[in-house]
Structure 1
Amino acid sequence: MSLEKILAISGKPGLYELKAQTRTGFVAESLADGKRLTVNMRNNVSVLSEIAIYTTTEEVPLKDIFKNIQEKENGGQAINHKESKAKLESYFGEVLPNYDEERVYPSDIKKVIQWYNILQNKGITDFSVDQEVKSEEEE
């Protein structure tokens, strides 16, 4: 499963998989507990493949950051997202050394690490660029 089907819904914890489009929105399934919910168009929804993190020179796609975490942890889990602010920032600095400390907040770092661990638990571990290019060609 690619990051193009994984959603972050504002006001809802965790990540969701896009299951179906409806007339007024779509149906999403929680990656945490498998519960389905209907999301209308008024909700603020982000597709993980569209999210990027600011660095001092450019914006880095989330999939690249996930890949960096995966390489750092040899395919395992990242640190717990509930660690101290200093520990999270230090860890994130190792994963993305030139991230923009003024525009990337500790809450953003927590989300990225939490999302990585959720995807890792669900076995969604292919963050390679080739996977995304292949899916774009199939469309």
Structure 2
Amino acid sequence: MSLDKILSIGGKPGLFKLLTQTRTGFVAESLLDGKRVSVGLRNNVNLLSEIAIYTLSEEVPLAEVFQKIKEKEGGEKTPITHKAAKDELEEYFFAVLPDYDEDRVYASDIKKIVQWYNILQAQGMTDFVSEATAEEE
């Protein structure tokens, strides 16, 4: 499954899989516990495929960052958790994406990225870069 159907919903922990659209919003399923939630149009919702990370030269799509983590860890979970200290998180992220913009990418952003990667890896959703993107490279 691509990141086009994976959501982050403000105020709710974890990630969600988009199931269906309704007249007043949509229905999503938690990747953590499988519970379904109804989400209104007023909620702050982000598709993971639309998120990018600032670097010193460009914005790198989140899928590419996840792919770099996957390559670094050999497809396994990260050795660091999202609850690690700020310095540890920044050091780990620097090893993954050496030119990230330290002024615009906060420790809270790195925590989310590490947490989201581990959730997706636990669900077996590790095809982050689409075939079309892989062919371009």
Query: TM tier, shorter chain?
Result: over 0.9
Structure 1 runs not aligned, ≥5 long = 134-139
What SS does structure 1 have at the residue aligned with 2:64?
Answer: helix
Q: Is the CA contact 1:2–1:132 (under 8 Å) kept in the aligned structure 2?
A: no
The alignment of Structure 1 onto Structure 2 pairs a total of residues equal to 134
Cα offsets for 1:13-66 (capped at 9, x unmatched): 000000000000000000000000000000010000000000011100000000
Shift of 1:129: 3.1
Matches within 5 A, 1:1-139: 1-78=1-78, 79-130=80-131
Tell me how large the CA RMSD over aligned residues is.
1.5
- Aligned residues: percent identity? 64
Task: Give the ranges of 4+ consecutive aligned residues of structure 1 lying more than 3 Å apart after TM superposition.
Answer: none
Structure 2 runs not aligned, ≥5 long = none
Alpha-carbon distance in 2 for matches of 1:132, 1:98: 21
